Chains A and B, each alone.
Chain A
Amino acid sequence: MSEPQVSDPTPVLALADVSKSFGAVQALRGVRLSLFAGEIHALAGENGAGKSTLVKTFAGVHRPDDGQVLLNGEPVVFHSPADAQHAGVAVIYQEPTLFPDLTVAENIFMGRQPRGAFGRLDRGAMNAAAEELFARLGVVLDPAGPARGLSIADQQVVEIAKAISRDAKILIMDEPTAALTGREVERLFAVARTLASHGCALLFISHRLEEIFSLCQRVTILRDGAWIATESVSDLTEDDLVQRMVGRELTELYPKVAVDPGEVALEVSRLTREGVFTDVSFNVRRGEIVALAGLVGAGRSEVARAIFGVDRWDAGSVAVEGKPLRAGSPTTAMAAGVALVPEDRRQQGLVMELSIERNMAVTGMKRLRRGPIIRGSAERALASDWATRLQLKYSRLSDAVGVLSGGNQQKVVLGKWLSTDPKVLIIDEPTRGIDVGTKAEVHRLLSNLAAEGLAVLMISSDLPEVLGMADRILVMHEGRLTAEIARADATEEKVMAAATGRGEAAA
């Protein structure tokens, strides 16, 4: 609305040459960023550029290894999120952080609930205040209902209401629009502009460049954890921004080899799990990389879990090379040649405390044993073989997997599954949280595997990755397949339209 007021020379909150590393991974390298009252500042960068680490540094979750956080020009140390909150910093995280067992209103006012006599909580006042916040946001939500079971959009609304209710001086929004409807996004922007006009400093993170251009005054760009530029949005075009974010040609990042697909390896027909996904049918051929795109929460990972047998399906069928799989049996799926590389490496893919060789060998217990004994030598041979083939960077195979970087951890998960000689590889978010260099390596690996005849089903929320790597793109929205797009016809707009339910029905 109004022109940014950046006349006040002292930033409300700033980072001065901040560095932070986690084990071997350097997440931030000498990053500087200043937030001024009344300004909406954008933070742009690819996945793994260090945006979330930066947010958590402001929020008091991480403390910088080097450099300083400045509050009104004075160095401060936030020892905890509570410290940052007291300083007036409110953060809306990418992943909602709600208490499922408490009511919606309690989630908003936790620790700040209105009180009556004897410190008794005034539930009436609390619910009324929540209603008022929802009215300001223009949504209908029951403040006294439980937070459990809220959709991602509703959870995000609760998070926003929480931040607004804190009356924060600095509001940091880590991809708040990811799961909101167009109308809700507009409403959020209106609220953001109002807050800015009242002297609030805002930091806004989004992958949607048009949002950055319509909402923000300045933008700071990060790449591989390093500060690249801070510029006025009006001086930039979208192409300039992308150029600075990526810093290299896209073709380098997505080395896809063209392959003639063979016979059908995975056939999924009319697969349904009540309330999760409905009537999902598709196939993946040998040599093909098929991407499953869509918004977070569209049911993509759930389909993958059902195919692999982690969850049961209620109707439909899955066949690998013509042989039907049993519902709810990962053992059968593995025996039939299905491998699943899950989204969450740390929780589901690896045992972080165990060594590289143990992690790699865990899928091959049957082949590696002599009688009931697992042979250490066989384990080591298998691990070193795959470590070489995957160009794993490690010092010793007996090191714990936890010390490797994200990209190398992902290679260990891949090695663990590839050693089972799978026919179908399902890989969920293959490069989330992996630095750009290793990302290209993982992509090259996937491309080569497909070229060798593996059928790859790749779930990804990273749109450039989907467009760059997939032979065909399937798009899911609200538990249904809404589109199938061939590589040649695929554009960001088409995928987005289908992912948001505005696209054409599956061809």
Chain B
Amino acid sequence: MNGTSAKDTSANGADANGKSGDGNGKGGNGASASGTRVNGTRMNGTLERLGRIRELGIVGATVLLFVVTGLANSGFLSIDSFRDILLNASIIGLLAIGQAMVIITRNVDLSVSSTTGLSAFLAGVLLADHKGLPVIVVALACIAMGAAWGLLNGALVAYFRIPALVATLGTLYVIRGVDYWFAGGRQVNAADMPSGFLSLGTAKIVGVPVLPLITLAVLAAVGWGLANLRSGRELYAIGSNPDAAILAGVPVTRRLLTVFVLNGAIAGLAGVLWAARFGTLDATVATGKELDVVAAAVVGGVAISGGVGSAWGAALGALLLTSISSALAVLKVDSLAQYAINGALLLAAIVLDRLLALRLAARLRKKSRERSVETTPLAAEATR
């Protein structure tokens, strides 16, 4: 390989009489560099890949948060405190996992909060009015209802090409409206529901509450699928370059439809968990939570411009945001200030992400330029 490259460049040098010395010099460099390049690329590659694991940053931030808050108040590091944070994070985390799939395709689903609310109320009503219904049937009904709304979102986005932001903003209000109509001012209380169901919110398996375990199970499935299934990788392709995805034969419409349906189903499941955890249900459940969910995904490294991120990151983002709320409470920060702090954190995450992306792009650009300088000059072709 050294031999060919040197020969080739000196041949070029020979027909460019004015610059032959320079050409040869460059050829020499190129040859010696290309000898070591293979190893160099490998090593840089590993470093780069490590650097690209965005989730590491969030883990670091979460650990830092716990250490700092723990120093101020050691109670924050107790088992009970951890359990509380996990419980609080599990519903937003679940929704963030679904949202991550949607955002990866360069879309967004704002209607999840309404779906969760309607699902929670549906679960409550079913359990309160039909005492004999098994919990699993209720859960499946709620999930199916969520999936149906997801199908509507998916159809609007994939078939009718309505921007997801607008389509799901519309369905956010529609679903909430259905919720109000369905509830008709009614409130379902914990006392109306079987205790077996409510214990879902507090039950533990070997000391770990069930709710986070459910989230973890969904996380494992979605996380694995996104990373390891063809259809999962195709979601990244769609978000990374929608036009190229069509040219590559990716069934874009079907994939988008599936993603919205899955996200809707997850929102349905989240509603069931909400009902079990909080017990008091009316038509306002989960109002405004869609923004927390999007924030969690973005803080977790899911790029709002699509193509980048993971379900793990989104779940970690939810955990971080929840931990911050808990930490601020422990540190006796005014709860009103928490909004501002969460917002600032979101901005910081996005700015940091943008900076990292710019630096990475500059480095790759430089690397590619070096590569093409050390290989031979581009071929003759200026007309097109």
Contact = CB atoms under 8 A, between A and B. Distances in A.
B376 A110 contact: no
Which of B52, B360, B376: most chain A Cβ within 10 A?
A: B376
Interface stretch (B36-44, B192-200, B284-292): B36-44
A97 B38 contact: no
Interface stretch (B178-186, B244-252, B260-268, B271-279): B244-252
Interface stretch (A314-322, A366-374, A420-428, A457-465): A457-465
B306 to A, nearest CB: 8
Nearest to A113: B230
Given A99-B236, A151-B368, A180-B378, A111 B48 contact: no
B244 A462 contact: no
Given A110-B233, A275-B362, A275-B365, A99 B245 contact: yes
Given A99-B237, A145-B45, A462-B384, A502 B249 contact: no
A149 B381 CA distance: 22
A144 B247 contact: no
Contacts of A274: 362
Interface string A270-285: 0000110000000000
Given A177-B379, A462-B384, A102 B16 contact: no
Contacts of B228: 119-121
Nearest to B232: A121
Contacts of A94: 384
A356 to B, nearest CB: 27
Nearest to A94: B384
A154 B368 contact: yes
Contacts of B241: 97-100
A100 B106 CA distance: 14
A496 interface: yes
Contacts of B4: 183
Contact of B381 (A120, A183, A207, A504): A207
Contact of A61 (B230, B247, B363, B379): B247
A153 B246 contact: no
Given A97-B248, A99-B307, A145-B45, A120 B229 contact: yes
Interface in A1-48: 47
A478 B233 contact: no
A461 B37 CA distance: 33
A153 B378 contact: yes
Contacts of A397: none
B365 A149 contact: yes
How large, as a class, is the contact surface on chain A? 35 or more
A500 B233 contact: no
B247 to A, nearest CB: 5
A97 B367 CA distance: 21
B248 A111 contact: yes
B375 interface: yes
A182 B52 CA distance: 35
A59 B236 CA distance: 23
Interface in A147-179: 148-151, 153-154, 175, 177-179
Contact of A151 (B245, B248, B371): B371
Interface of A: 47, 59, 61, 80-82, 85-86, 91, 93-94, 97-102, 106, 110-111, 113, 115, 119-121, 140, 142, 144-146, 148-151, 153-154, 175, 177-185, 206-208, 274-275, 293-296, 461-464, 466, 477-479, 495-497, 499-505
25 contacts: A85-B249, A91-B247, A97-B243, A99-B237, A101-B240, A102-B240, A106-B233, A110-B248, A111-B249, A115-B230, A121-B230, A150-B368, A153-B372, A181-B376, A185-B379, A206-B381, A461-B383, A466-B382, A478-B378, A496-B380, A500-B377, A501-B378, A502-B12, A502-B15, A504-B17
Given A495-B382, A502-B19, 11 more contacts: A82-B249, A97-B241, A111-B230, A119-B229, A177-B381, A182-B8, A183-B8, A293-B382, A477-B377, A497-B16, A500-B379
A-B CB proximity, top 10 nearest: A149-B364, A501-B377, A504-B18, A82-B249, A101-B307, A97-B244, A99-B240, A463-B383, A101-B240, A207-B383
